Structure 1
Amino acid sequence: MDEERQRILKMMEDGIISLEEGERLLRAKGSEASSGPQADSKDHGEGSSSESRRSGAYRTDKKAAGSQKRKSKEDPFAMLSGFFDHALDRVKRFDLDFNFGPSVDFQHTFEHDESDIRSLDMFIQNGSLICQKWEGSTIRVACQVKAYTEESEDAARRDFIEGTDFDSRSGKLRFASRSGNYKVQAVVYVPEKSMDKMDVSTFNGDIRIDGVQTDNLYVKASNGAITVLHASAGYLAVETANGAVELKEGNIGSADVKTWNGSIHYDGSLSDIEAEALNGAITARYTSLSERSRAVLSTTTGSIKVITPREIRTEGVLRTNVGNYKCLLDNIEVKEEKSEFMQKYYQFVSNPDSTPTLRLEASAKTGAITVQDHE
């Protein structure tokens, strides 16, 4: 029994099962232990039935899914099997680039005089988006297009141009390719002057932002990785349902970063960031800091690693349920420490007489938290 409890705790720590699922399994094990041999005999009698239930867990039909959910409450290990089946099914259904059959390839470039443009709104249904600065005076969108059609190249190009939004109104330039019949790899060339606002999004595809200047930058992908390099923005919002996020260098005032399935990595001198990953690790490497910087980092099944300059002051609060924490900074004053079952808490200050200051809050449900000086 102790070995099974340890195995469950290990799965929780590694992020294989959630905190709530682990608690149910532990409670179920406790109930089995108290019921004695009679319960064991009953379990052996129902083994084949339980196995049959597990094999059909989490079918796409809603009625079957609801029935399985009721069964999982009775059999926690059927619930665990269903969890893996459901996760695999979600991954399969999120492969959105499903076009096949005959296709034609061509290139097309949209261009607009940027003199009156203060904001950009860019969207691609299927493909990828790159936004980068250049020395030209116009805004240019260069598209490499794969059209899934039996038409000729000229006809496919004409249909693509007619079906793509590219227009300006009241100082806002909009580009949108909304049809799933095209896979569009677009490079948006933005003049070096600063914009008021930029919205960049894809439904299925990666996004890369490089060197742009704007007061507000919003980047969103339903299924795709997001990379922001050397950007200058007063406020940055990044969100992806399925993909990694990387922020590197640049000059960002404050940032909100979220991903459902993927890691978050930032490297530079962000003065204010809130980052959340449901299923993925968070790595924060600071090269320098403003006078007072803030980082609020949280993950459910991943780990958190923060690397700071050696000489700065760090005011930190670390929280984890079943994971571990390590604070490897020098000259630490421990303010408060708790290490209880399913709840660990560590509050500290490093280099209390130094400046600048990083205020850090890191929370991981099942993963480990590490804070250290530069490697």
Structure 2
Amino acid sequence: MNEEKKRILEMVESGLISANEALTLLEALEKEPGQNARKERRENLLDELIGLAQRFSSSGQKQSREFKSNAYQSRDKVFQFVQSAMQRVRDIEFPLGKTVEISHVFEEKDFVPRRIKVEEANGNFTIKPWKEKGVRAECHVKLYGADDEDEAREAFIKNSVFYARDEKLSFSVGLKLMKVDTVLYVPEEALHEAAIKLFNGSFSMHDMDVYSLEVKTANGKIEIKRSKVTEFEGETGNGQIHIIDCEGQKAEASSFNGAVHVVGAIGYTDIKSFNGNVLCDVKAGGAHTVKAQAVTGNIEIYVPKDTSMKGVLRTNLGYFQLPEEGMRKVEEKEEMVQKMVRFESEVQALDNIVIEAETKTGSVSVQEITLPATDDKEPNGTDSPSSTADGE
């Protein structure tokens, strides 16, 4: 108990939390001393997870063919451990006594933002377009430790910022013991820049036009649908990243624990996952480079038929799958610690794509598909690979 109080006072001294937040934490410690054990378990769990990832990554290059069966078992254990560990982390909230829920709306009429900046510790954030000339943020707030709605509303307004001036919109919530789920409505006009930083929460956006979009969250899913994003950068520690039916020039997406799926016409795609499958479904429209990396997951890449390809695939324990026709292997190696194949199309086409894919324990598949002419179905009436891919 004394050690926890000392840590809270140090956080106040360093400016990480306010005096009111420290008082709330101290009162919670007095009321519920059992919360120290939960916090300690959470910290130990994260430390164990990070250590495991470092050990697994450093030992990946030391695997040899004669130990493949053991390596596959180790891969499955790592996959199951990370999944269960992250689920336990996700389920841990801040059970600090009574909670109060309120709703609040921020609104600025006759305002069209060109830049959006969001910072939030806990809660999901969604951006939606609308036909109005103005911005509106609908917030559902859950405050831990408040006695009534008036106190909760006062604390939320005092510790949040909604600033709309000079074509810039800033929204942030400073109180860490507060969960705020926000839906932000913005005009349909194109945004130049949006930067979203969350700690514990998911982000979603659809039917938007943004030049530069940056999304980072420690624990949450990132989902973007039917949007034009010229430059995208997304990162999550625990959660999936789905970029579906989008177009742009560049997309970089990384998840520690979760699948990464990119479907659309994107020029340069760079996607990574430590513990999850990686999928890139390239649609027609200027795509030229695909880079994909995974540790425990498989990699699937789908390219439009009649597009010429060249690239290199690598794996330690898995296998390769290339189109049965129209492809030749320029170089193929199967060494003690890694397998590699370098390939290229036999016939050059107008559209060219360079592919680089590497996974430690999974497999790599590169396949050609025929793009639908009028709808999202394949000619034989089945869904496209991207619509039925496993979300794990």
Per the shorter chain, which TM-score range?
Answer: 0.7 to 0.9
Percentage identity across paired residues of the two chains: 27
Residue 322 of structure 1 aligns with which residue?
317
* Alignment equivalent of 1:18, drawn from 48, 52, 56: 56
Q: Give the one of 356, 361, 369 matched to 1:366.
A: 361
2:240 to 233, 240, 244: 244
Contact 1:325 1:370 in 2 (8 A): yes
- 1:296 equivalent in structure 2: 291
Matched letter for residue 319 of structure 1: R
Give the drift of 1:176: 0.7
Query: How far has the Cα of 1:264 moved from its partner?
Result: 0.3
**3-state DSSP class of the match of 1:189?**
strand
Q: How does 1:52-131 map to 2 (within 5 A)?
A: 92-93=88-89, 95-99=91-95, 101-113=97-109, 115=111, 117-131=113-127
Larger mean Cα displacement after TM superposition, 133-142 or 116-125 = 116-125
1:165 and 2:161 equivalent? Answer: yes
The amino acid across from 1:312 in the alignment is T
Q: Give SS of 1:269's match.
A: strand
Under a length normalisation based on structure 2, what TM-score does the superposition of the two structures give? 0.71
The equivalent position to 1:151 in structure 2, one of 123, 147, 151, is 147
Give the stretch that moved more between structures: 304-313 or 350-359.
Answer: 350-359
> Which amino acid letter does the alignment assign opposite residue 97 of structure 1?
E
- CA deviation vs aligned residue, 1:312-371 (integer Å, no higher than 9, x gap): 111121111222111125311221111222221111112523231111111111110011
Aligned length: 309
Larger-Rg structure: 1
How has the CA–CA distance of structure 1 residues 108 and 329 changed in structure 2, closer, same or farther, with 3 Å as cutoff? farther
Partners in 1 of 2:128 and 2:274 — Cα distance? 29
Deviation at 1:283, TM superposition (A): 0.9
Q: Which residue of 1 aligns with 2:47?
A: none
Deviation at 1:148, TM superposition (A): 2.1
Q: Aligned partners of 1:316, 1:25: CA distance in 2, in Å?
A: 24
Structure 1 residues 317 and 24 mapped into 2: Cα distance closer, same or farther (>3 Å)?
Answer: closer
Q: Residue 63 of structure 2 contacts residue 316 of structure 2 at CA under 8 Å; is this kept in 1? A: no
SS at match of 1:270: strand
Q: State how far apart, in whole Å, the 2-side matches of 1:158 and 1:111 are.
A: 17
Which digits, 9 at most, give the CA deviation of each residue in 1:109-136, with x for residues without a partner?
1112464632001122111011111111
SS of residue in 1 equivalent to 2:151? helix
1:225 to 206, 221, 225: 221
Matched, 1:177 2:170: no
Does residue 200 (structure 1) correspond to residue 196 (structure 2)? The answer is yes
Cα distance in structure 2, aligned partners of 1:134 and 1:329: 47
Moved more, 351-360 or 96-105: 96-105
The answer for the alignment partner of 1:286 in structure 2 is: 282
Equivalent AA in structure 2 for residue 272 of structure 1: Y
Q: Contact 1:278 / 1:301 at 8 angstroms: preserved in 2?
A: yes
Residues 149/194 of structure 1: CA separation in 2 closer, same or farther (3 Å cut) = same
- Residues 85 and 192 of structure 1: CA distance in aligned 2, closer, same or farther (over 3 Å): closer
